[in-house]
Amino acid sequence: MDYYSSQISRLIEELSKLPGVGAKSAQRLAFYLISRPVEEVHTLANAMVSARENVRYCRQCQTLTDTELCPICSNPARDPRTIMVVENTRDLAAYEKTGKFNGVYHVLHGAISPMLGIGPQDIRLKELILRLQGDVDEVIIATNSSLEGETTAMYISKLIKPTGIKVTRIASGVPVGGDLENIDQVTLLRALEGRMEL
Ligand code: ZN
């Protein structure tokens, strides 16, 4: 990219490393940023750095948060005896948007995938098992209905069954291979309400 100055080329190169941003979008974003007031770009850059530096995993549910205990885990109105297991923080957000789930979550940050070499030790399962030593009435497995999501659900249910804790799986109103975050709230609620004991 010799036809751009080195600063512009560098910005384009960095932006094109972002997921879903191709060479063309990176150029468009770069020129957009350059055209904005410098304070506005500072605000964006600061938000990125600050989020990266301060966001961590919730001590309990493992979701991404900037406090030791996330707002859901530290809310006394939530029922800590009902734990919904999701693959990532975006899925948690999708269920939170429905406003109908009053329990707490456990975020795995991935799913078991023998094909990609992702095993149970590569996701936050240990942390879930530890939590089950407390008072838990039900674990709702809300992993995606993809092969990986189903594999993970089976694995977790086999782990939990011997403890006597009720294990349920959300109904398969969720399209196969569908990401929970892209599914509308009505479908999510139906999947939650129609959950079946495993
Ligand atoms: Zn939490």
Give me the pLDDT at residue 119, please: 94
| 52 close to 46: Cβ distance less than 8 angstroms | no
Residue 192 Cα to ligand 1 midpoint, Å, equals 20
Residue 123 Cα to ligand 1 midpoint, Å, equals 16
Give me the pLDDT at residue 187, please: 79
Residue 176 Cα to ligand 1 midpoint, Å, equals 28
Strand (E) or helix (H) holding 144? none
- For 11, residues 6+ apart whose C-beta sits below 8 A from its C-beta are 30, 33, 34
pTM of the shown model: 0.76
Residue 42 Cα to ligand 1 midpoint, Å, equals 30
Residue 129 Cα to ligand 1 midpoint, Å, equals 15
- Does residue 112 register a pLDDT over 60? yes
User: What residue type is 156 in one-letter code?
Assistant: I
| Per-residue pLDDT band at 72 (split at 50, 70, 90) | very high
Residue 119 Cα to ligand 1 midpoint, Å, equals 23
- Number of helices (H), then strands (E), belonging to the chain: the values are 7, 7
In 58-127, at which residue ranges do the beta strands (DSSP E only) sit?
64-65, 79-86, 103-107
Residue 61 Cα to ligand 1 midpoint, Å, equals 4
Neighbours of ion ligand 1 (CB under 5 A): 58, 60-61, 70, 73
Residue 128 Cα to ligand 1 midpoint, Å, equals 12
Give me the pLDDT at residue 30, please: 96
How far is residue 158 from each of residues 45, 60, 82, 129, measured CA to CA in Å? 45, 22, 18, 12
Mean pLDDT calculated for residue range 37-42: 97
